[in-house]
Amino acid sequence: MIEDILSETSTKMGKTIEALRKELAAIRTGRATPSLVDQIKVDYHGAPTPLNQLAAIAVPEARLLVIQPWDRQAHASIEKAILKSGLGLNPTSDGNVIRLRIPLLTEERRRELVRVVRKRVEESRVSVRNTRRSALEEFRELERKKEISQDEQKRAEERLQKLTDSFIEDVERAGREKEVELLET
Protein backbone atom coordinates (compact mmCIF):
# COMPACT_ATOMS: atom_id res chain seq x y z
CA MET A 1 0.00 0.00 0.00
CA ILE A 2 2.66 2.49 1.04
CA GLU A 3 4.83 1.57 -1.94
CA ASP A 4 1.89 2.03 -4.31
CA ILE A 5 1.14 5.48 -2.91
CA LEU A 6 4.81 6.51 -3.11
CA SER A 7 5.11 5.17 -6.65
CA GLU A 8 1.97 6.97 -7.80
CA THR A 9 3.12 10.18 -6.12
CA SER A 10 6.54 9.93 -7.77
CA THR A 11 4.88 9.49 -11.17
CA LYS A 12 2.66 12.55 -10.65
CA MET A 13 5.61 14.66 -9.50
CA GLY A 14 7.61 13.49 -12.51
CA LYS A 15 4.83 14.61 -14.82
CA THR A 16 4.88 18.02 -13.16
CA ILE A 17 8.59 18.39 -13.92
CA GLU A 18 8.08 17.15 -17.47
CA ALA A 19 5.35 19.77 -18.01
CA LEU A 20 7.60 22.48 -16.54
CA ARG A 21 10.46 21.56 -18.87
CA LYS A 22 8.12 21.77 -21.88
CA GLU A 23 6.85 25.18 -20.76
CA LEU A 24 10.38 26.45 -20.20
CA ALA A 25 11.54 25.16 -23.58
CA ALA A 26 8.89 27.29 -25.26
CA ILE A 27 10.25 30.49 -23.69
CA ARG A 28 12.38 32.31 -26.24
CA THR A 29 16.03 32.84 -25.35
CA GLY A 30 17.51 34.45 -28.46
CA ARG A 31 18.63 31.04 -29.73
CA ALA A 32 16.75 29.06 -32.35
CA THR A 33 15.29 25.78 -31.20
CA PRO A 34 12.41 23.77 -32.69
CA SER A 35 10.69 23.68 -29.27
CA LEU A 36 10.00 27.43 -29.67
CA VAL A 37 7.28 26.64 -32.17
CA ASP A 38 6.08 23.29 -30.75
CA GLN A 39 3.15 24.96 -28.96
CA ILE A 40 1.87 26.68 -32.12
CA LYS A 41 -1.42 25.30 -33.44
CA VAL A 42 -2.17 25.85 -37.13
CA ASP A 43 -5.70 25.94 -38.52
CA TYR A 44 -5.29 23.15 -41.07
CA HIS A 45 -8.49 22.32 -42.95
CA GLY A 46 -10.55 23.56 -40.00
CA ALA A 47 -8.71 21.60 -37.30
CA PRO A 48 -6.08 23.04 -34.93
CA THR A 49 -2.97 20.99 -35.71
CA PRO A 50 0.47 21.25 -34.07
CA LEU A 51 3.00 22.90 -36.38
CA ASN A 52 5.48 20.03 -36.03
CA GLN A 53 2.88 17.70 -37.62
CA LEU A 54 2.58 19.89 -40.71
CA ALA A 55 6.18 20.76 -41.47
CA ALA A 56 9.83 19.89 -41.02
CA ILE A 57 11.55 22.30 -38.65
CA ALA A 58 15.31 22.78 -38.96
CA VAL A 59 17.90 24.98 -37.25
CA PRO A 60 20.60 25.76 -39.84
CA GLU A 61 22.08 28.64 -37.79
CA ALA A 62 22.07 29.64 -34.12
CA ARG A 63 19.40 32.30 -34.67
CA LEU A 64 17.40 30.93 -37.61
CA LEU A 65 14.54 28.45 -37.83
CA VAL A 66 13.54 27.03 -41.20
CA ILE A 67 10.07 25.57 -41.53
CA GLN A 68 9.31 23.51 -44.61
CA PRO A 69 5.60 22.61 -44.89
CA TRP A 70 4.81 19.19 -46.28
CA ASP A 71 1.62 20.55 -47.86
CA ARG A 72 1.99 23.77 -49.86
CA GLN A 73 -1.63 24.69 -49.06
CA ALA A 74 -0.73 24.94 -45.37
CA HIS A 75 1.94 27.58 -46.06
CA ALA A 76 -0.26 30.65 -45.49
CA SER A 77 -1.95 29.08 -42.45
CA ILE A 78 1.42 28.38 -40.87
CA GLU A 79 2.53 31.98 -41.39
CA LYS A 80 -0.69 33.29 -39.82
CA ALA A 81 -0.33 30.95 -36.84
CA ILE A 82 3.25 32.12 -36.23
CA LEU A 83 2.18 35.77 -36.34
CA LYS A 84 -0.71 35.10 -33.91
CA SER A 85 1.44 33.02 -31.54
CA GLY A 86 2.67 35.98 -29.50
CA LEU A 87 6.31 34.90 -29.85
CA GLY A 88 7.19 38.19 -31.52
CA LEU A 89 8.62 36.44 -34.58
CA ASN A 90 8.05 37.63 -38.14
CA PRO A 91 8.08 34.87 -40.75
CA THR A 92 9.65 35.48 -44.15
CA SER A 93 8.73 33.18 -46.97
CA ASP A 94 9.99 32.36 -50.46
CA GLY A 95 7.00 30.17 -51.32
CA ASN A 96 8.72 26.92 -50.36
CA VAL A 97 10.08 27.49 -46.88
CA ILE A 98 9.34 29.85 -44.02
CA ARG A 99 12.31 31.42 -42.26
CA LEU A 100 12.14 32.76 -38.70
CA ARG A 101 14.99 35.00 -37.59
CA ILE A 102 15.31 34.98 -33.83
CA PRO A 103 16.20 38.54 -32.77
CA LEU A 104 18.48 39.22 -29.85
CA LEU A 105 16.62 39.88 -26.63
CA THR A 106 16.80 43.27 -24.95
CA GLU A 107 17.88 43.40 -21.31
CA GLU A 108 14.35 44.46 -20.31
CA ARG A 109 12.79 41.53 -22.18
CA ARG A 110 15.28 39.12 -20.58
CA ARG A 111 14.27 40.32 -17.10
CA GLU A 112 10.60 39.92 -18.04
CA LEU A 113 11.22 36.37 -19.20
CA VAL A 114 13.12 35.57 -15.98
CA ARG A 115 10.03 36.68 -14.04
CA VAL A 116 7.90 34.38 -16.19
CA VAL A 117 10.30 31.49 -15.53
CA ARG A 118 10.19 32.12 -11.78
CA LYS A 119 6.39 32.19 -11.85
CA ARG A 120 6.27 28.85 -13.71
CA VAL A 121 8.80 27.35 -11.30
CA GLU A 122 6.71 28.47 -8.32
CA GLU A 123 3.56 26.97 -9.90
CA SER A 124 5.42 23.68 -10.32
CA ARG A 125 6.62 23.76 -6.71
CA VAL A 126 3.03 24.26 -5.58
CA SER A 127 1.91 21.37 -7.76
CA VAL A 128 4.57 19.07 -6.26
CA ARG A 129 3.53 20.11 -2.76
CA ASN A 130 -0.15 19.51 -3.54
CA THR A 131 0.75 16.01 -4.72
CA ARG A 132 2.63 15.47 -1.45
CA ARG A 133 -0.39 16.69 0.54
CA SER A 134 -2.64 14.18 -1.22
CA ALA A 135 -0.24 11.34 -0.40
CA LEU A 136 -0.03 12.48 3.25
CA GLU A 137 -3.81 12.36 3.47
CA GLU A 138 -3.78 8.83 2.08
CA PHE A 139 -1.19 7.75 4.69
CA ARG A 140 -3.23 9.31 7.49
CA GLU A 141 -6.38 7.62 6.23
CA LEU A 142 -4.61 4.24 6.20
CA GLU A 143 -3.46 4.81 9.78
CA ARG A 144 -6.98 5.86 10.86
CA LYS A 145 -8.37 2.65 9.38
CA LYS A 146 -5.64 0.73 11.24
CA GLU A 147 -4.25 -0.67 7.98
CA ILE A 148 -0.79 0.63 8.92
CA SER A 149 0.77 1.47 12.29
CA GLN A 150 1.80 4.95 13.43
CA ASP A 151 5.45 3.99 13.00
CA GLU A 152 4.82 2.87 9.42
CA GLN A 153 2.98 6.10 8.78
CA LYS A 154 5.88 8.20 10.14
CA ARG A 155 8.42 6.27 8.06
CA ALA A 156 6.24 6.64 4.97
CA GLU A 157 5.90 10.38 5.59
CA GLU A 158 9.68 10.71 5.94
CA ARG A 159 10.20 8.87 2.64
CA LEU A 160 7.56 11.06 1.04
CA GLN A 161 9.32 14.20 2.29
CA LYS A 162 12.65 13.01 0.81
CA LEU A 163 10.91 12.28 -2.48
CA THR A 164 9.27 15.70 -2.46
CA ASP A 165 12.56 17.44 -1.65
CA SER A 166 14.29 15.74 -4.59
CA PHE A 167 11.52 16.78 -7.00
CA ILE A 168 11.51 20.36 -5.66
CA GLU A 169 15.28 20.45 -6.27
CA ASP A 170 14.70 19.22 -9.86
CA VAL A 171 12.14 21.99 -10.38
CA GLU A 172 14.52 24.63 -9.02
CA ARG A 173 17.42 23.27 -11.10
CA ALA A 174 15.32 23.50 -14.28
CA GLY A 175 14.41 27.09 -13.39
CA ARG A 176 18.02 28.07 -12.65
CA GLU A 177 19.21 26.54 -15.95
CA LYS A 178 16.60 28.49 -17.90
CA GLU A 179 17.44 31.74 -16.08
CA VAL A 180 21.14 31.31 -16.91
CA GLU A 181 20.21 30.60 -20.52
CA LEU A 182 18.06 33.74 -20.66
CA LEU A 183 20.61 36.03 -19.05
CA GLU A 184 23.64 35.02 -21.11
CA THR A 185 24.26 37.38 -24.00
Q: Please write the tens of the pLDDT for every residue from 134-163.
A: 999 999 999 999 998 999 999 999 999 999
Instruction: Pick the last residue of a domain from 69, 101, 133.
Output: 101
Instruction: Pick the last residue of a domain from 85, 101, 117.
Output: 101
Q: Please write the tens of the pLDDT for every residue from 25-63.
A: 877 666 777 877 877 888 888 888 888 888 888 888 888
Burial 30-67 (b: 16+ CB within 10 A, else e): bebbeebbebbebebeeeebebbebbebeeeeeeebbb
Residues in CB range of 82: below 8 A, 6 or more apart? 37, 40, 51, 89, 91, 98, 100
Let me know: does 9 contact 1? Beta carbons within 8 Å: no
Which one has a higher pLDDT value, 2 or 123? Answer: 123
74 and 118 assigned to the same domain:
no
Q: Please write the tens of the pLDDT for every residue from 54-93.
A: 888 888 888 888 989 888 888 888 888 888 877 777 888 8
- Which is nearest to 33 in space by CA: 145, 178, 166, 162? 178
Domain that holds residue 144: 2-25+106-183
Residue 46: CATH number of its domain? 3.30.1360.40
